[in-house]
Amino acid sequence: MTGGRVAIVEDDRALLDQIRWALKSSWEVSAAEDAVAGLALLDEQPDLFLIDLRLPPSREPKEGLELLRAIRERRPEVPVVVMTGERERGHALKAVELGAYDFFRKPVNPAELAVILGRALERARLVAENLALRDEMSARHSFGPIVGTSPPMRKLFREIEKVAPSDATVLITGQSGTGKELVAQSLHRGSPRASAPFIAVNSSALPEALAESELFGHEKGAFTGAVSSRPGKFELAHRGTLFLDEAATLTPSVQAKLLRVLESRKFERVGGNRTVSVDIRLLVATNEDLEKRVAAGTFREDLYYRLNTVVLRIPPLRERPGDIPMLVDYFREKWGKHHGRVPRRFSPAALESLVKHGWPGNVRELEHLVEMLTLMVEAEEVTADDLPGAFTKGGGTEVSRPLEARAASESLPEAVARFERELLATAISRADGVKARAARSLGIDTNQMRYLCRKYGL
């Protein structure tokens, strides 16, 4: 038996016997001769239905169409194939509109029938698998790669679900590495703009002299090097979503222009006088406290209230340690596949060390760690001994070990790198994840900070 269970509703007994004979080697067949008895076949849990449109008592196509409608209401996942007469194409198309998988015309061609039913069954199985996978993925991480089942993350998922279909401006807050762009992408995918562009801009990476040009575009000759006109990110995001990360770093002039765009959805390119109208949804992210920025006079108060329509806060990883084993599982599968390596299991002791860690670099730090271990660990299982020095069984750091013990186990470059990483991690943690503030406390500039954070996966 290579097929499945097919329920046939056909009042012509000779035709019914022909179909039974054609299917008997591959299918388990149950049959009925009218719509009432046909609907009762649902109790036998068939994999698909094959129904004639002209059924008793009236033998008009409406009988079959009503049966189709009833099957779809009670078991929408079960595919229905309809049989029609030679001149009944209109009724067959109506059946497809009502949800029939396919139709074929009488007289029955056994080979054609077998192909159609086989395809219908395969489609039903794929739909069932996709539904099961969707339910499983929803239970694990409801919004793509945003992984978590902890109460803070479930709250965030519910908020995303509520806000995504709207056009509201959303302010996404959270420490560096928590996944603010992933949240923005989830909002975009869940919106009516999902098929339009999603344009992401890291505001802190925009050169101050070119920030307005990057965002709003420029006309030819607007400044030295502007050899041709070019649209900015706002125009590229037309009808879609524009995501501005690190919004606290926007210059005063860009803040003023952004406020106008939010109020009118209009602006002029740099060096131009033609007004450009855009239809965008704006999502903004920051790892800094904008209220403090407003109080310090470095962020416009009127812009802040414009951006503060809906606020989504992403919890730092230390507030949801129960999600760490799930995140580890997700990342080991991801990077194992990416690098062509068998995903490494993590021992209970290794997972315990990860759960106890403070994670100043949040999910990004964890992902970089798992990728590194995927590449460097040759055994099938990652143990606590494979973890870097910042991870110990007790959840402390290598700083707590005596100098003599450390000196005996590592070279000078290794010790310097470990100390540098731990110093950075501590500064970031004390700055509540705000790297610009951490950089100031360490006496280095933001470019150095970015380089070191990339170097150490923070």
Do 156 and 243 fall within a single domain?
A: yes
Helix, strand, coil content of the chain in percent (nearest 5): 50, 15, 35
Q: What do you get for the CA distance between the two ends of the chain, in Å?
A: 57
Q: Domain ends where: 83, 104, 136?
A: 136
Which pLDDT score, from 0 to 100, does residue 413 have?
66
Residue 441: Cβ within 10 Å count: 13
Whether residue 303 has pLDDT greater than 70:
yes
Whether residue 411 has pLDDT greater than 70:
no
Which pLDDT score, from 0 to 100, does residue 404 have?
46
Rounded CA-CA distance 163/191 in Å is 9
Rounded CA-CA distance 68/102 in Å is 12
The CATH number of residue 34's host domain is 3.40.50.2300
Do 277 and 361 fall within a single domain?
A: no
pTM (whole model) above 0.75: no
Do 273 and 325 fall within a single domain?
A: no
Which pLDDT score, from 0 to 100, does residue 135 have?
52
Whether residue 138 has pLDDT greater than 60:
no
CA 34 to each of CA 45, 49, 59, 62, 142: distance values in angstroms, whole numbers, following the listed order:
18, 13, 9, 13, 44
**103-107, 358-362, 432-436 — most confident range:** 358-362
Mean pLDDT of the 300-318 span: 92
- Joined tokens for residue 424: 């950075």
Whether residue 1 has pLDDT greater than 50:
no
Mean pLDDT of the 389-395 span: 57
User: 403 falls in which pLDDT band (50, 70, 90)?
Assistant: very low
Rounded CA-CA distance 204/14 in Å is 77
> Which residues span the domain enclosing 427?
319-456
Q: For residue 184, give every residue at least 6 positions away whose Cβ sits within 8 Å of its Cβ, in sequence order, or none.
A: 170, 172, 198, 200, 241, 243, 283, 285
- Domains in the chain, number: 3
The CATH number of residue 429's host domain is 1.10.8.60
Mean pLDDT of the 20-45 span: 90
Q: Are strands 266-268 and 275-277 parallel, antiparallel or unpaired?
A: antiparallel
CA 51 to each of CA 26, 127, 230: distance values in angstroms, whole numbers, following the listed order:
19, 21, 60
pLDDT tens-place string over residues 140-190: 444 567 888 888 998 999 999 999 999 999 999 998 889 999 999 999 999
Written as one letter, the residue type at 315 is P
Do 158 and 112 fall within a single domain?
A: no
Q: Rounded mean pLDDT of the chain?
A: 84
Residue 145 resides in a domain: no
Find the DSSP H helices in 150-216.
151-163, 180-189, 211-216
Do 52 and 131 fall within a single domain?
A: yes
H or E element that contains 344 = none
